[in-house]
Homo-oligomer: A and B are copies of this chain.
Amino acid sequence: MKRTGRAQKVNTEVRQEQIAEAALDVVAVHGMKGLSVAAVADRVGLVPSAIYRHYRSKGALLDTVLKLIGDRLQANVTIVCEETADPLDRLQRLVARHVKLIEENRAIPSVVFSDEVYGGSSERREKVSGSIGRYLAQIERLVREGQTQGRIRPTLRPRTVAVMILGIIQPAAILAHLSGGEFDLIRHGREAWDLLRSALEAD
């Protein structure tokens, strides 16, 4: 990542997005500990102080990255709802997309569960909490639809099911990372969903 000569001037809105993406890349490679302003700047081909032309602070950059991630999760919900009408199929596809999103973006768990969020300002924690809450609410909605249509057992609490669906993906993502890619994320997603689905389906 050598910088040679002066960087080209680029419109702030474009740079902001470049920088946020670069931050995700840096985390994917070097982990949250490696997420320094210098590293991000380097990746974009800028000097560290240049970052401050586009973000008020490192925290503001982090907030943007978090929003980016939240938006992508939300987008998946929209997409699967367009792909199929069947609630169980929607859930199945959502799991698959979530797994794929994390596979292609190894940085996501690191960022979302980082100390900066997890132990940081209550404001940032509340924002992430809200983001996850909205995602869960969408899943619950799908579950309820399935119950209305008699496809999912009506005695199940939608929230419990929604959190269990997160539970298919999250530990798997962490194991995949810790084990250095030895763990088969996609396979687990498929098998765990099949198992959960059999428990959800109405007789």
- A residues apposed to B, CB below 8 Å: 30-34, 110, 113-116, 118-120, 122, 125, 128-129, 132-133, 156-157, 160-161, 163-164, 166-172, 174-175, 177-180, 188, 191-192, 195-196, 198-200
User: Which secondary structure characterizes the binding site on chain A?
Assistant: helix
**Is B116 a contact of A33 with CB atoms below 8 Å?**
yes
Question: What is the minimal beta-carbon distance from A97 to any residue of chain B, in angstroms?
Answer: 17
A129 and B174 CA atoms in complex are apart in Å by: 10
Closest to A31 in B: B119
**Is A132 a contact of B195 with CB atoms below 8 Å?**
no
**Is B172 a contact of A188 with CB atoms below 8 Å?**
no
Q: List chain B residues, Cβ under 8 A from A188.
A: 160, 163
A87 and B60 CA atoms in complex are apart in Å by: 50
Known: A170-B170, A199-B196. A32 touches B119 (CB 8 A): yes
Partner of A170, one of B125, B171, B177: B171
Give 4 A-B pairs besides A128-B178, A163-B188, A167-B168 with Cβ atoms closer than 8 angstroms. A125-B178, A166-B167, A195-B200, A196-B199
Instruction: Give this chain's copy count.
Output: 2
A167 and B169 CA atoms in complex are apart in Å by: 8
**Is B171 a contact of A129 with CB atoms below 8 Å?**
no
A116 and B115 CA atoms in complex are apart in Å by: 10
Q: List chain B residues, Cβ under 8 A from A180.
A: 122, 125, 129
Closest to A191 in B: B160
Interface centre among A113, A114, A166, A167 (most CB of B within 10 A): A167
**Is B110 a contact of A31 with CB atoms below 8 Å?**
no
Closest to A168 in B: B167
Instruction: Sort A-B residue pairs by CB-CB distance and give the 10 closest, nearest first.
Output: A31-B119, A167-B167, A199-B199, A32-B115, A129-B178, A166-B171, A33-B115, A160-B191, A33-B119, A167-B171
Question: What is the minimal beta-carbon distance from A126 to any residue of chain B, in angstroms?
Answer: 8
Known: A115-B115, A156-B195, A157-B191. A132 touches B167 (CB 8 A): no
